[in-house]
Amino acid sequence: MIKYCIKRILLIIPILMGITLIVLIFIDIAPGDPARMMLGNEATEEEVQALREELGLNDPFVVRYFRFLGNAVRGDFGKSYMNNRPVADEILQRFKYTLIISVLSVSLAVIIGIPLGVYAATHQYSWKDNAAIALSLFFISMPAFWFALILVQLFSIRFKILPPAGIESWKGWVMPTVSLALGYIALITRQMRSNMLEVIRQDYIITARAKGQTERKVLYRHALKNAIIPIVLIIGTLFGMSLGGAMIAEIIYSVPGLGSYMLSGLTSRDYPVILACSFFMSTIFSIVILLIDLAFAFIDPRIRSQYVRRRRKTAEEA
């Protein structure tokens, strides 16, 4: 088990190296020259070339790749082309906003989605179940940014109870979180409902009922425990989605987070910003996925035993 954990943790390194490679390739094939953009159209070709040389843009691909990785390991992501500030400082400053939005919205989705899914499943085909299913379908099909604007229209313009932008007080967090969470609540509700329905038909539930267990205990001790496990995996995916989704919420509600930083980097061809932001967000995402994988292995004895067996097998092969 420990061996598996270490192996899984070490796997992050090649993944991050690969992600950096992919992003660098994207940047490389992109049309547009950041040196030209910084100097404007009046600059001569010599000036542009000199700046390219200074920024290290003329170096071979491999050199740039390993230089970025080497610096990144030491926490140095270079300076922004636009305002010459160290990118690492800016990221650290902005990251907490994105993280708060992501964590809050995913937590909200879990807290509301799981009970709702269980309720829908235990009342299958009742009007409450139908309503839950129909509503969650609506929320999944709705563009989050559109819903975000409707929230502004309702709560800031019509009722004037929440600020339309900014996060000076706790009230400012409500709309970014809710607009992002709604789709996730719907996703978890649907998933939880179908997991629960599947589990309820299993033989061990019949066994539990046959031995005279109370319905309450059958549901919450036997069924829920098994139905909730796949949800843990979805939380990781949702977290990844929320990092991207937070970008839109940050733009609409003018939250100074990572997403809006990355977007400004992308539109102004600020390569250090793009590279650092994607590197940073992918690192966080990979760590979350790692934690969930490990948690998964710990909570589910069936999976735990798989790893033990697999390890024995590989030992035999060796």
Q: Which residues bind other proteins (CB under 8 A)?
A: 11, 14-16, 18-19, 22-23, 26-27, 29-32, 137-138, 140-147, 149-150, 152-153, 157, 240-241, 243-245, 247-248, 251-252, 262-263, 266-267, 274, 278, 281-282, 285-286, 289
Query: What's the min distance (Å) between Cβ of 45 and other proteins?
Result: 22
By beta-carbon proximity to other proteins, the closer residue of 157 and 318 is 157
Query: What's the min distance (Å) between Cβ of 82 and other proteins?
Result: 15
Query: What's the min distance (Å) between Cβ of 28 and other proteins?
Result: 9
| The token pair that represents 122 in the structure block | 């235990």
Q: Are residues 200 and 223 in contact, defined by beta-carbon separation less than 8 angstroms?
A: yes
Q: Are residues 110 and 235 in contact, defined by beta-carbon separation less than 8 angstroms?
A: yes
| Residues sharing a CB contact under 8 Å with residue 296, sequence separation 6 or more, in sequence order | 229, 232, 233, 303
Query: What's the min distance (Å) between Cβ of 50 and other proteins?
Result: 24
Query: What's the min distance (Å) between Cβ of 211 and other proteins?
Result: 25
Query: What's the min distance (Å) between Cβ of 172 and other proteins?
Result: 17
Query: What's the min distance (Å) between Cβ of 18 and other proteins?
Result: 3
By beta-carbon proximity to other proteins, the closer residue of 152 and 235 is 152
By beta-carbon proximity to other proteins, the closer residue of 26 and 220 is 26
By beta-carbon proximity to other proteins, the closer residue of 105 and 278 is 278
| The token pair that represents 3 in the structure block | 């061996």
Distance CA 44, CA 202 (A): 74
By beta-carbon proximity to other proteins, the closer residue of 32 and 60 is 32
By beta-carbon proximity to other proteins, the closer residue of 138 and 298 is 138
> How far lies 201's CA from each of 61, 124, 209, 211, 230, in Å?
57, 13, 12, 16, 17
The answer to whether the Cα torsion of 112, 192, 5, 67 is positive or negative is negative
By beta-carbon proximity to other proteins, the closer residue of 73 and 157 is 157
By beta-carbon proximity to other proteins, the closer residue of 87 and 144 is 144
Query: What's the min distance (Å) between Cβ of 214 and other proteins?
Result: 25
By beta-carbon proximity to other proteins, the closer residue of 14 and 301 is 14
Q: Are residues 39 and 51 in contact, defined by beta-carbon separation less than 8 angstroms?
A: yes
Query: What's the min distance (Å) between Cβ of 264 and other proteins?
Result: 11
